Amino acid sequence: MNNHRAIDRNRATYVGIDVHPGTHTAFAMNRFEDEKGSLQFENSQPGIQQFLVWLRTIEPVKERSILGVEGRGGNGHALIGQLIRNYPHVYEVNTLFTKKRRTFGPNREKTDERDAKLIAEVLTRKLSELPMITQQEYRPQQVLLKKIVEFYGEATNQGTRLRNQLHRLTLELSLAADAQQKRILAFTLKEKQAELQRMNKRRKTFVKQLAELLEGNGKNLTSFPGIDTVAAARITAETNGVERFHSLDGFISYAGIGPVEKSSGKNRRFKQNHGGNRQLNSAFFMIAICNLRCDPKGKAYYQKKLSEGKSKKHAIRCLMQRIASVIYGMLKNGDAYRAAPGYQIS
C-alpha cells in the first residue's frame, strides 16, 4: 500500500512540532510559509487533546494537514501515537535539516517556537525527502523488536567489557607473587567468567526472540549473503516499515549511504553523507564487510570499484549502496534473495 497519498500542497497546512519531555511546541503555516498559528502544550493526555482541538481549528480537513515531528524518540511517543491514528500525513524530520537552516540562516536564535517553525519550513521545502511515520512502527511486534535489538546491543557491549577484564585479570594473576593477591584475583576471575557465560546465554536467548519476531516481518533478509538474524532485526527495527519511503532514493538517503551533492555553478562535487540514520548506516556497513567475505559477487563488485580508481572506503560505500538497493526490494516484496540468472556486475 502506498501511504504517500496525493496532497494538494498549495492548499495544505504545514505543522512543525518540536517535542520535549515536559512540553511540546507546534507551529503552523501555509505553503508560502505565512504563519497560521502556534501552540505550546503539555506532554500529557490533556495537553495532547488540547493540541488536537487547536489543530482542527487551524485546519479542519485532516487530509490537508501535513505534520512533521523532530526529535520524536520517547518524548513524543504518546503524541505520535495519537497523530498516526487520526492523520494520514505524519513525517519524521531529521534534526540535521533544522540545524542546517538555523546555522546558515539569518536568524540563529534557538527557542522551541523557532525550532517548530523551522520544522514546518522543512515540510514545505523537503517533503519528498522525508520518511513518513506509520502505524507499522507502533505495532507491539515492532516496538518489541526494537527493544530486543537494543537489549542485544547492550549485552554485546557488556560481554566485550567482560572479556577485556578477563584478559587483564589473567595477566595480573600470572604476575602475582603474594598469596592473598593470587586468591582474590583467582576468585574475581572465576566470578567474571561465570558472568560472561550468563551474558553469552542471554545473548543467545535474545537471538531466538529476534528470530521469532522476524517471522513475516523481515525474516527473508537472512537469505542475503552476510545478513544473520541480528543484522536483519537491526534493519527491520530501524527501517520501521519500508512503506514510509517515497522511493529507493529516499531509503538510501535515510540510511545516510548516498553521496551528498555540493555544487556551485558548473562545478559539481559529491561528498560522503554523514547524516541519516546512523544505526541503519552502521548495520549496512557491517553487512557489506560480511558480504565481502562470504559472497563472491560482492567481492567481485568491490574489486571492480577498486579497479575504477576508487579508494577502499569509497568502494565499501558503493557496495553498501548496492546492498541497500537489494534490501529495499526484499522489504517491499517479502521474497527471499535470488541472484538473477546471468548476473552481471554493475
Spans of all domains in the chain: 13-133, 140-215, 233-333
pLDDT over 70 at 246, yes or no: yes
Q: What residue spans of the chain are helical by DSSP H?
A: 45-58, 77-86, 95-104, 112-126, 140-175, 179-214, 229-239, 248-254, 278-294, 296-307, 312-333
* Gap between the Cα atoms of 112 and 94, Å rounded: 16
Amino acid letter, 324: A
Complete DSSP assignment for 305-341: HHHTT--HHHHHHHHHHHHHHHHHHHHHH-PPP-PPT
Contact 90, 37 (CB under 8 A): no
Amino acid letter, 64: R
Q: Can you give the pLDDT at residue 275? A: 72
pLDDT over 90 at 75, yes or no: no
- In the CATH hierarchy, which top-level class contains the domain 13-133? alpha beta
Least trusted range by pLDDT, from 90-104, 117-131, 231-245, 319-333: 90-104
Q: Are strands 35-42 and 65-70 parallel, antiparallel or unpaired?
A: unpaired
Block residue for cell numbers 520501521: 240
Least trusted range by pLDDT, from 71-85, 142-156, 215-229: 71-85
- pLDDT tens by residue, 13-32: 999 999 999 999 999 999 99
Nine cell digits for residue 59: 485546519
In terms of pTM, does the model score above 0.85?
A: no
Least trusted range by pLDDT, from 94-103, 131-140, 302-311: 94-103
What would you report as the CA-atom Rg of the chain, rounded to the nearest whole angstrom? Answer: 24
